[in-house]
Amino acid sequence: MTLTPVRGRFAPTPSGLMHIGNMRTALIAWLQVRSAGGQFVLRMEDIDKPRCRPELAEQALADLKWLGLDWDEGPDIGGPFPSYVQSERESLYRDALDKLEQEGRLYPCFCTRAELLMVASAPHGLNSEGPVYPGTCRLLSNEQREERSRDKTPSLRMASPGHDICFQDLAAGPQRFPADAVSDFVVKRADGIISYQLAVTIDDAAMRITDVLRGYDLLDSTPRQLLLYEALGLPAPRFTHIPLLMGQDGKRLAKRHGGMAIAAMRANGVHAEHLVGWIAAHSGLIDKPEPVRPHDLIQEFNLDRIPKDPVTVTDLMLQSLLG
């Protein structure tokens, strides 16, 4: 029997500088793949063009290489499933939308932001896209849709099939999302931009990704993506969602916490091996922070060593990194 080779990926969004949280996810995703002897793919997720900038995409590549990560396919080296830049893959997304529309799985939504905010207190919503959508536009007649389209360009929503979504997460364990939590979700915005949910599903399937490792904040995106895999007849990858690095304010570690940008660390003389060791120690991969290269971590890598809870980054921890 021929085993399917492991194929994982890291897919940054070039709307801001890479920071410690991004780099931690990239390192652990890379280790998961390399420890299995697999292929690692780098993809630039710039589908939201107004927010993304080419110079930030170039900086992300430079930061990842500086850390000591490599990839088998990517924007800079190509590969068998081009393009590795999301904004150059829009024809694939349009084809998927056409298929879903032909099968009656999509409908136009004319709801305004104000109308959607009115249901902000709805229970059981998935955090990544807000509260449960009440289905306001799902049952509009063709005449009503035509009339409303004269005043507003609609978004497109995927109609949820109304059943529970269950899957086994390699880090978070068994997951069950009840049907009333997985509401109809947007696959194309009113401004024409393809949703993250659709683009990432199409890209991972087209690039034959077998394993997706990402932050816990994207766990509740998974049921929507599984519905899209199911509707499009595509094989779904295995999912691994790891707990996040948190600031002392209890929020996900990000640029707002200061000194987090990898480019700033490099400019201030932080060595790549020092950062790798710091990430590894605070991710349970080594016993204490010490300089280490990514390749040195491959042999002993084990997902079970990753903490099960978010890691709060204190000022003292940062001082040990930044000096």
Total domains in the chain come to 2
Domain membership of residue 221 (yes or no) is: no
Minimal CA–CA distance to 297: which of 29, 59, 11, 88? 29
187 and 100 in one domain? yes
The answer to whether 264 and 255 are in contact (CB under 8 A) is no
Whether the pTM exceeds 0.75: the reply is yes
Q: 252: which strand partners?
A: 246
Active site residue 152: no
The answer to whether 226 and 196 are in contact (CB under 8 A) is no
54 and 68 in one domain? yes
For residue 132, what is the domain's CATH number? 3.90.800.10
107 and 21 in one domain? no
Domain membership of residue 168 (yes or no) is: yes
Catalytic residue, from 65, 152, 255, 288: name it.
255
Planar angle of CA 62, 241, 31, nearest 5 degrees: 45
> Which residues carry a binding-site annotation for ATP?
255
Task: Report the length, in residues, of the chain.
Answer: 323
Domain membership of residue 164 (yes or no) is: yes
The answer to whether 10 and 40 are in contact (CB under 8 A) is yes
Q: What is the pLDDT along the chain (323 residues), one digit of tens a residue?
A: 346 799 999 999 999 999 999 999 999 999 999 999 999 999 999 999 999 999 999 999 999 999 999 999 999 999 999 999 999 999 999 999 999 999 999 999 999 877 776 654 444 345 556 678 888 999 999 999 999 999 999 999 999 988 999 999 999 999 999 988 888 999 999 999 999 999 999 999 999 999 999 999 999 999 999 999 999 999 999 999 999 998 888 888 765 555 679 999 999 899 999 999 999 999 999 999 999 999 999 999 999 999 999 999 888 888 888 76
Backbone angles phi, psi at 187, to 5 degrees: -115, -15
99 and 178 in one domain? yes
List CB contacts of 188: < 8 A, sequence separation 6 or more.
97, 155, 156, 194, 195, 198
> What's the burial of 250, exposed, middle or buried (CB within 10 Å: 0-12/13-18/19+)?
exposed
For residue 13, what is the domain's CATH number? 3.40.50.620
Domain membership of residue 235 (yes or no) is: no
Domain membership of residue 296 (yes or no) is: yes
- From 168, 198, 228, the end of a domain falls on 198
Domain membership of residue 114 (yes or no) is: yes
291 and 249 in one domain? yes
152 and 78 in one domain? no
The answer to whether 279 and 273 are in contact (CB under 8 A) is no
Whole-angstrom distance, CA of residue 36 vs CA of residue 160: 35
263 and 189 in one domain? no
User: What's the DSSP call for residue 37?
Assistant: T
User: What's the DSSP call for residue 146?
Assistant: H
> Which residues carry a binding-site annotation for L-glutamate?
9-13, 45, 196, 214
Whole-angstrom distance, CA of residue 305 vs CA of residue 35: 14
129 and 192 in one domain? yes
> Which residues carry a binding-site annotation for Zn(2+)?
109, 111, 133, 137
318 and 290 in one domain? yes
The domain of 253 spans 7-88+243-322
Minimal CA–CA distance to 34: which of 226, 265, 301, 283? 301
The amino acid occupying position 212 is V
183 and 97 in one domain? yes
74 and 97 in one domain? no
81 and 110 in one domain? no
> Which residues carry a binding-site annotation?
9-13, 45, 109, 111, 133, 137, 196, 214, 255
Domain membership of residue 193 (yes or no) is: yes
Domain membership of residue 210 (yes or no) is: no
The answer to whether 86 and 202 are in contact (CB under 8 A) is no
The answer to whether 320 and 289 are in contact (CB under 8 A) is yes
Strands in 106-109's sheet, in edge-to-edge order, are 106-109, 155-158, 185-188
Alpha-carbon distances of 268 from 141, 259, 261, 272, 293, rounded to whole Å: 61, 10, 11, 12, 19
